[in-house]
Structures are given as structure tokens and as C-alpha cells.
A and B are shown apart, each in its own frame.
Chain A
Amino acid sequence: MQNDTLPIGRVVATEAKPSTAYSFSFWTADDSKVGIGTLVVVRTENVEVFGVVVEGFGFTDLGSPLHDYIGSEGDPNTEPPTLRPEIKLYSAAVLRVEPEEPLQPVPVGPVYLADDVAVARALRMDAYVGKSEIPVGLYQNGDLLSPVYLDSEFLLGPEAAHLNITGVSGLATKTSSIEFVLQSIFSHFREDVAVVCFNVKGCDMLFLDFPASPPEEYKYKQLYIDNNIQEIPVEDIEKYDKLNTPCQPFEKVYYYAPYKFDRLNLNTLRTHPDLIGSVKPLSWGLQDILEYTEVVLNRDDVDAKADALIQYIRQRVVGQISKVGEQECEVRNFQHLNAWFDAVLREMEESNRTEWKTHHYATIRKVFNRLTNLSTRYEGLISPDEYSSDLPWGTFEDRGVYVIDVAKLDAQAQDLVFTRVVSKLREHLEAGNLGVKHVIVVVDELNKYAPSDGQESYLKQTLLDISERGRYLGLVLFSAQQFRSQVHKRVVGNSATCLYGRMDMDELATPGYQVLTSATKEKLATLSKGQLMIRHPHFNQPIFVKFPRPNVLRGPDGIKMFPPADDLPLDEAVYRNLCTLNPDLSRNEIKDIVASADDDEETKRAMHVTLQRRPDDPVAYFRNSIKKKANIAATPDAAPVVIQSVDHDVDPFERI
């Protein structure tokens, strides 16, 4: 048993392997608890040197393996009466020296294990603990567990920002560590902050509001027991205590998912009847996506001519009354836009003109094809009518987590969701009207979305933009991937804080890891669950920590407890959707209304209008919406294109 106040080793320096100002070697007793990543202190009369063990060597006085073979007569069962002395020699990299000047080679002296205070000083955490500390894990030194803190000014800005985590799949380290860091930020960050999570695969982030270890009186306690859900171990709960972070799930989580192609059922795995009510649709109309046409259209489609026409439509057509020849049009959704294009093309054909407002017939036809096709291509995400359900821009809540489930969307739709959401976040943060000052955007699978090679995409550009300019705005990227070497250098390079879980040896062989010693790489390749290596601007060497399992229901467990529901038929889907406005609605009454409607599409449109308007009496409003359509009575809510005769001599766009 070691006495913590006694030295555990001594510095040794030889001509062949001298100490430098940045590294030193020391040997330890056989039973010392020193290993790769251990923090140590060299104390002499005049100087204190803090270091981290980066390499270990063990050897005897044996000159050649052949000597041992000969000595044993070639028989491995031979047990010599004397054991050769075996030394454990470690190399350590200097973290800090006090006093800092003059910077001299590390002196020969006794070596001690670092205690809590020494850990804080070694990692220069004493400069920000008490001001801007964010616990990230526990550093283990022998039997001691010392908290390790990140500096929020270097994690969430403005000094530096962003966090990137790398690790092999299947250990749940990447997702778990991000969840724990977020929980830690929520309980320690002194300013307001919200999180936008993109759930890009499976069900990873779909149960952030459910605990892994339910309290005694919890509503679903029995369900946990029935499904044999693994609770948070006691040692992890102790880690939470040491890190002064509550062991609980996220309190304010809001889920968003686009509709499926039927525009009734949400395209997510969180569709269990008990949970679907907490998922809001993510649905955008024409006006919402028109400024992102370069994202949704093929890059080859949007040449200069097409772009000019699209800009014209954005600025002079959509959301206002415009004229096509003698007809007056109001375009608020894709249906209206189709009618507008029809009117323009008809007028050109009737007047036998090849240009309209300087736009060539072929360009108009091309843009018409591409734009009107969008609501079909992105069906479920882009609404053909003006129904829009979006994130609460302007009213983001402090400590709120907004999960956008894009796992089931194709790559192009994901591109649109990322780009639009991040653009809106940036826009609102710049204007200071988002509702919070800081937003953390969580993106997994960065290999896929910001690869180091391959085509440029708007999503990649968006991620680059966040990583390069986000910290000034309070927009912070927490990203994760399996292979850091395959992510765009500027994205990971701008990430001030980097976490590493267990790594693949092939990945560690890539040039990005050359700064790590072979022992550190070996350790990285064998890290177990709950262990991380951290790089942070205040730490001049990587540090290994342990972090507790987040008290959040893991995705697969959540699916086991709350299996996704089958797609609902029209009447039931309408009822369920409208129940989000008022849970006491009569199922039969809604079903009767749906049955009385002639057209399913019209029923869906009426449902969306009702959901958007959020009337006091949803049933009445829903019924009226269907009736109005049946009577072909245009309402401001569902106005089709209105075409009226206008004076041909007046050209409202003649200045263009």
C-alpha cells in the first residue's frame, strides 16, 4: 500500500537519455500505480515540475534474449533461483514548471503522484476553476480520482470553441461523452445556452428526456424492470458527486421530425403512442426554403440565369401580390407557384415571346421544373401548401435541447435541414434575438458530412462556417466521428477541445496522431467504455479521464421500452395530430369529419392548417377548413392563386 505523501519514484538522467525542459524519465517501485497518462510531480527545494507519463519501459540487466535461453538450458520450465531486477522506467512530458523562469531541464529528484491540488495546478485549471469551469471527467491517479475541468471560455467561446470527439463505433463513448459534457455545461455554465442536436442515425438521441436509472415513483418504473434496463452503477453516481453534476436526464427536450411521404406520420423512431405527442413536425413551406434553393437544387441546375430568376421570384413574387400580364397573383405555397409559372408560360406562349422580364423561356421552364418538383422530392419535409412547423426561432429556452431527427432523410434532405437550421441559428444569434446567447450544435458522423475529400457541399460549407466563425456568435459545434483523419482539416483544426475514445490502430497510424507517443497510442487503442483522452488549450499534453455514464436512456433501450408504432391510417393520424392541440378531442368526431371529406389530400391540408393556426376549437376549425374547400370558398388560410384581369400597359417589373 502506497503512502500518498511518499515519493513513488526518482528522476534519472543519463548522457544517453538526459532530462530536458520538456521531458524527463523516472523509475518507480514495482508496486507503484503509475501508468501511461499518470500525472506526477517532481519536487526539489527550488522547483516543482508537473508532468504526465507518456511512455513506459520495463527491462532487466539481460543483455540478449539468448542469454536467458542459454541460462535456462532452453527449457522454459526452468525457474532460476534469482530473479533479475526489473526496472519500470517512465518518460514524462512536462506540463508545468513552477517557477516558470528560468526554464531549465528537469532536476533529478523524488517523484510524487499528483493529488487533487496538484492535478489542478498541473493542468493550469487553477486559472479558471471558480470562474468558468466545466467538469469533463475524473482523472485517476492510483486510488485518487481528481476532477478535470474544461474552461468554458475555450469550449463555448469567445477565446476558443468547439468540441470534437473521435472513437470507434459500438462503445457508446462518443454519444455518452457528449451527453455528459452537455449535462455538465447545463449545470455549470454561467450563461444561457441551448443545444440543437441532429440525430443522424438510429435512435441515439431520441430518449434524452428519459433517465437510465428511474426514480422509485417514476411513471415507467415497471417498464424499466420488465425490459431489464441497466441502471447507472453506484461508482458512476459517485463520479457525478465528485464532479458536482446532477445525475439526471435532460429536463427540457424538444423533438422535431419531418413527416413521411404521407404527410401524416412523422418520419422518426419516436412514434410510440406515449411519446409521439412530444415530437413536433418539421415542415417548411415555399417561403422557408426559397432562400436555400442552391442547397436543394442540383448545383448544375442553378446557373447564373436560373439564379437570377429564382432571386426574382423570391424578391418580387413570393409572399406578395405580383402581376403576370394582366393577371394579379399572390404566391404563398408551391401550389400557388405552380399556377404562377403556368400563367407566365401561358402568357409567353400566347404573345409568342421568348423572353419574359429578360428571362428566357427555356430558363423559366427549367426553373419551373426544378422548383415545382421540390415539394415532391422533399415530400414530408417541404410542404406543398403553406403549412410550416419550425424550431421556435426567437424563443429558444435556456438549457433547452432541440433534437432534430434527420436519421431517415436522404442526404440531400439532410443537407437542407442542416443548412437551413444553422443559417437561421446564425442569423438569430447575430441579431441577438434567438432567445439564448449560446447554441451548441451537435452533429455525429462528421466523416460523412464534412469529409476531408469528396465534393463540396453546402452542409460541409455550413460546418466549416460554424467552426471558423461560430465562436464570435456563440454558435458552437460539438461534433463526433469515427475517423478524425477523414474529416475536413479546418473543421477538426478549429475544434479547441478534442476528446478521443477507443481508437482504431489504422486510424492512429495516420499522420494526425504523430505527436502522440506509441504508448499513448497503445492506450488509446485499448480504452474501455467511459474513458477518454482530452486535449484542451490549457493542457499542453493529452490527459486521460474517466467520465460517468449519462443518466439518459440509451437509444436501443428506449426502442425496447417504447417500440415505434406502425403508420397510422388517415383518420387516426389526423386525430392524433390534432390531439397535440387538445388531448381531450373526441376521436369519433374527428373520424366523422375525415370520413365526410371527399379528398384525402384536402383532409391533410385542413389538418396542417389547423395545426398551424392552433385555434381554440381545433375540431370546428378543422371541419370548417374542409367545408370551405368543398364550397370552393377561398380563405386567407388556403388561398389559391387569384388571377384577375389587369392592365397590360402596366408592368410592375419593368425596372428589372
Chain B
Amino acid sequence: MGDLLGNLEAYIRTLPKVDVRVALAQASLAGDPPMRADAEATQADRDLFEDEKVCAHQVGVPTAGGFTCFMDGMQRPRGPIYINSPVPILYGYIAAVIRTRGSDKKMRTLPGFHVVDEALYLPKKIAQQHGIEISGVTVVDTGDVDAIEHPLALAQAAHDKISTVRGRLESKIASEWVSRPPCDGWLLVDGSLQADYGEADIAGVTKSHSTQYLTWEEQQVALALKPGERSSAFVPIVKGGRRPVCSWYLRMHPSEGKDPYFGLIRVEIPRSSRALDMVDEISRWLLAERAPLSLPDSRWDKMIYPIRDCELYMKSLAPSHTSLDAQLMRLSAIAASE
């Protein structure tokens, strides 16, 4: 990790007049604030990939062994920081990792597959209008969207940008893995597949169900799935475009008496020629990953343990909220000291 905030401090000290304000956001219980997309429900469409109508399938006895690599990403935004203007500047730390499970069942990081990125996120054009031209640090422009000149809207745009960059980072290392798989077995990524991976051995698991692909009647079938059952496979359609994946719902844990989404995940694999043949087998692999449980993570019903392992690994190496906040507070103290 570079000394981005240190360099920012050095830059601020070069300014003739300094008025730095820092808003320290509280960390969420899960550790990091959720992405906006996670919170908003949207309706999409689908093409059925099998069956004439959505129905439940027994996938068979869980069998371990198919997945050998696991990928996850993280983001840690802090701020915003205001330097002599109401333009919000966000600090963003993002990381992605692929961890592999050896024959000893222990998780290790694949060499070269842990990447981090640290940058300041701000709308460059608007910032320049307010005389802010930060040098000496990595800056990501958040102004490529039509944002209104409102600090809160600009801050949200920065948050969204951080999520986007994180997605790109994950996509990048997933593509690297696919282009030259370092080991046998499948790669399981946390979230949707971001690209067309052709015939590659890669699968994605989505825990959030904010985007609904099935019709209301079809949803009843998915929500009524029992443990070890999956829905019919379908092709998600987003904004009119068929995504290059084959997807299905899978119930990991019984949900009686609980939220209907409890233990329900959506799986994606590349829409390859063998995709349909793999649906049940991959479902069985996933069911086998129910142990060990990912507790105490609150998403344990949908999160498989190796993904939690990836998350813990990245968090252990990320700068802590406390140290980041301390560095940001130093920035706000500059004005007071001068």
C-alpha cells in the first residue's frame, strides 16, 4: 500500500490557504458500507434455458471437489474530504484476491492474484472549477456521469465509482485466471460473472436478490425451493441484452420460518455448450461447500466458507478504519495548526 494520504497531506501543506474538513462515516456492522446496487430492487427479464416453465429440480447428493479457486473483492471508502471547497473527495481502497484450496484443504493465496488499488475519487472538472488540482496522488475522476452539483450527489457518485473500479479489478484478475488457469478445477467468484468467459471453468454466486429476473409466478417456485433443490436454468436479460451466462437459483439451507431468501443463492456459469450438463453437478459442489459454516458472518446462509476466507484475507491486509480515520483527522488538523 502506498502512502496516498501522506502525499495528500503534503499537497495540502503546499496550499496557501487551507480549510480542510473531513466527514468520518461510521463503519457498518459488516465492516464496510454496502453498495447502492445491493439495496435497490430492480426487475429484469430472462429466457428459460431448460424446461418450458420454471420448476424445481433435485440436484442430488452433495459432492466436493469441483472448486479449487475462489475469488472475492472488497472496497473500503473513507471520507468525504473537503479541501477549500464543498467538492467531496473520497478515499477508496479496493482489493481483489483469488485463493486456492490445496489437497490439505487449506486456503492459500494464488501467487500474483492479490491486487489492491488506492486512490482519491472526485469529479475532476468540478474540482478544477473550485481550484482543486491535486498532484502527487492517484486520482480517479467520478465526473463521467451527469451528476448534479450537490455534495451528497457527488459523494454518491464517488461511492458508485469505487464499486465500479472494484468490479473491474475483480473482472481483471478473473480474466487473468481464465486466460492461464494456474491449477485444475473451477474458479468460484463472489457475485455475477462480469464478462463472457466462453468455455472457461468459472462460476459466480450472487447472494443478493435485488435484481429479479423471474416473473412473479416463477419467483414463487424459486422461493419455495427446498434445500438441495434448484430452479430451472435461465439466461438473464438486462436492459434488453442477453447476458452470456446460464443462471439458476439454488437453496442451500432450509428457510422454514425464515426470510424466503434465506439460504437462496443465484448461480452463474458461462453459457457454453456444456453449461446445461454442468448445472446439477455445480449445484452439488456448492451444496458440499455448506460446511464449514461461514458464521459468525451475518450472510452465512448464502456465503460459502472459502469466500469468507478470501474476505478475511483481504481485510487483514487492508488499512483499518481506525488508521484511515486517524490519517484523515490529521488532514483536518492542518488548518487548525496554520
Query: Among residues 60 to 112 in chain A, which have CB atoms less than 8 Å away from a CB atom of chain B?
Result: 61-64, 67-68, 70-73, 78, 80-85
Contacts of B65 in A (CB 8 A): 81
Contact of A82 among B107, B295, B296 (CB under 8 A): B107
In the assembled complex, the Cα of A61 lies from the Cα of B303 at a distance in Å of 15
Q: Is the CB of A82 within 8 A of B105?
A: yes
Contacts of B289 in A (CB 8 A): 81-82
Q: Is the CB of A82 within 8 A of B290?
A: no
Contacts of A70 in B (CB 8 A): 293
Contacts of A72 in B (CB 8 A): 291
Q: Is the CB of B292 within 8 A of A71?
A: yes
In the assembled complex, the Cα of A380 lies from the Cα of B305 at a distance in Å of 81
Closest to A83 in B: B105
Q: Is the CB of B290 within 8 A of A71?
A: yes
Interface assignment of B306: CB less than 8 Å from any CB of chain A: yes
Contacts of B195 in A (CB 8 A): none
Closest to B304 in A: A82
Interface assignment of B41: CB less than 8 Å from any CB of chain A: no
Binary A-proximity of B264-293 (CB < 8 A = 1, otherwise 0)? 000000000000000000000000111111
Contacts of A85 in B (CB 8 A): 106-107, 309
Contact of B309 among A71, A78, A82 (CB under 8 A): A82
In the assembled complex, the Cα of A83 lies from the Cα of B306 at a distance in Å of 9
Binary A-proximity of B33-57 (CB < 8 A = 1, otherwise 0)? 0000000000000000000000000
Q: Is the CB of B107 within 8 A of A71?
A: no
Contacts of B292 in A (CB 8 A): 62, 67-68, 71, 80, 82, 84
Contact of A83 among B106, B293, B296, B312 (CB under 8 A): B106
In the assembled complex, the Cα of A70 lies from the Cα of B292 at a distance in Å of 9
Query: Among residues 38 to 78 in chain A, which have CB atoms less than 8 Å away from a CB atom of chain B?
Result: 61-64, 67-68, 70-73, 78
Q: Is the CB of A63 within 8 A of B296?
A: yes
Interface assignment of B104: CB less than 8 Å from any CB of chain A: yes
Interface assignment of B101: CB less than 8 Å from any CB of chain A: yes
Q: A537 to chain B: closest CB distance in Å?
A: 43
Contacts of B295 in A (CB 8 A): 62-64, 67
In the assembled complex, the Cα of A64 lies from the Cα of B291 at a distance in Å of 14
In the assembled complex, the Cα of A601 lies from the Cα of B133 at a distance in Å of 120
Closest to A86 in B: B106
In the assembled complex, the Cα of A61 lies from the Cα of B308 at a distance in Å of 11
Contacts of B306 in A (CB 8 A): 82
Q: A66 to chain B: closest CB distance in Å?
A: 9
Contacts of B64 in A (CB 8 A): 81
Q: Is the CB of B105 within 8 A of A81?
A: yes
Q: A86 to chain B: closest CB distance in Å?
A: 9
Q: B294 to chain A: closest CB distance in Å?
A: 9
Query: Among residues 53 to 100 in chain B, which have CB atoms less than 8 Å away from a CB atom of chain A?
Result: 64-65
Contacts of A64 in B (CB 8 A): 295
Q: B100 to chain A: closest CB distance in Å?
A: 11
Q: Is the CB of A81 within 8 A of B288?
A: yes
In the assembled complex, the Cα of A78 lies from the Cα of B101 at a distance in Å of 18
Binary A-proximity of B183-207 (CB < 8 A = 1, otherwise 0)? 0000000000000000000000000
Q: B260 to chain A: closest CB distance in Å?
A: 21
In the assembled complex, the Cα of A70 lies from the Cα of B116 at a distance in Å of 35
Contacts of A67 in B (CB 8 A): 292-293, 295-296
Closest to B105 in A: A83
In the assembled complex, the Cα of A84 lies from the Cα of B291 at a distance in Å of 10
Query: Among residues 293 to 332 in chain B, which have CB atoms less than 8 Å away from a CB atom of chain A?
Result: 293, 295-296, 305-306, 309, 312
Q: A58 to chain B: closest CB distance in Å?
A: 15
Contacts of A61 in B (CB 8 A): 312
Contacts of A71 in B (CB 8 A): 290-293
Q: Is the CB of B291 within 8 A of A83?
A: no
Q: A465 to chain B: closest CB distance in Å?
A: 62
Contacts of A81 in B (CB 8 A): 64-65, 101, 105, 288-289, 291
Q: Is the CB of A82 within 8 A of B101?
A: yes
Query: Among residues 262 to 313 in chain A, which have CB atoms less than 8 Å away from a CB atom of chain B?
Result: none
Closest to A84 in B: B292
In the assembled complex, the Cα of A64 lies from the Cα of B296 at a distance in Å of 9
Closest to B64 in A: A81
Which of A67, A68, A81, A85 counts the most chain B CB atoms within 10 A?
A: A81
In the assembled complex, the Cα of A67 lies from the Cα of B291 at a distance in Å of 9
Binary A-proximity of B174-185 (CB < 8 A = 1, otherwise 0)? 000000000000
Q: B68 to chain A: closest CB distance in Å?
A: 10
Query: Among residues 548 to 577 in chain A, which have CB atoms less than 8 Å away from a CB atom of chain B?
Result: none
Q: A186 to chain B: closest CB distance in Å?
A: 52
In the assembled complex, the Cα of A62 lies from the Cα of B296 at a distance in Å of 8
In the assembled complex, the Cα of A85 lies from the Cα of B316 at a distance in Å of 13
Contacts of A73 in B (CB 8 A): 291
Q: B101 to chain A: closest CB distance in Å?
A: 6
In the assembled complex, the Cα of A78 lies from the Cα of B64 at a distance in Å of 11
In the assembled complex, the Cα of A63 lies from the Cα of B296 at a distance in Å of 6
Q: B107 to chain A: closest CB distance in Å?
A: 6
Closest to B68 in A: A81
In the assembled complex, the Cα of A61 lies from the Cα of B305 at a distance in Å of 11
In the assembled complex, the Cα of A126 lies from the Cα of B70 at a distance in Å of 53
Closest to B63 in A: A81
Q: Is the CB of B293 within 8 A of A82?
A: no
Contacts of B305 in A (CB 8 A): 80, 82, 84
In the assembled complex, the Cα of A84 lies from the Cα of B107 at a distance in Å of 8
In the assembled complex, the Cα of A73 lies from the Cα of B309 at a distance in Å of 21
Q: A62 to chain B: closest CB distance in Å?
A: 7
In the assembled complex, the Cα of A67 lies from the Cα of B289 at a distance in Å of 14
Binary B-proximity of A188-201 (CB < 8 A = 1, otherwise 0)? 00000000000000
Q: A516 to chain B: closest CB distance in Å?
A: 34
Contacts of B107 in A (CB 8 A): 82, 85
Q: Is the CB of A78 within 8 A of B106?
A: no
In the assembled complex, the Cα of A224 lies from the Cα of B35 at a distance in Å of 83
The 20 listed contacts between A and B (C-beta, < 8 Å) are A61-B312, A63-B295, A63-B296, A64-B295, A67-B295, A67-B296, A71-B292, A71-B293, A73-B291, A78-B291, A80-B105, A80-B292, A80-B305, A81-B64, A81-B101, A82-B289, A82-B292, A82-B306, A82-B309, A83-B104
A residues within 8 Å of B by Cβ?
A: 61-64, 67-68, 70-73, 78, 80-85
Extra pairs beyond A67-B296, A81-B65, A85-B309 (8, CB < 8 Å): A61-B312, A62-B295, A63-B296, A71-B293, A81-B289, A82-B292, A82-B306, A84-B292
The 10 A-B residue pairs with the shortest CB-CB distance in the complex, in nearest-first order: A81-B64, A71-B291, A63-B296, A71-B293, A80-B291, A83-B105, A67-B295, A71-B292, A80-B292, A67-B293
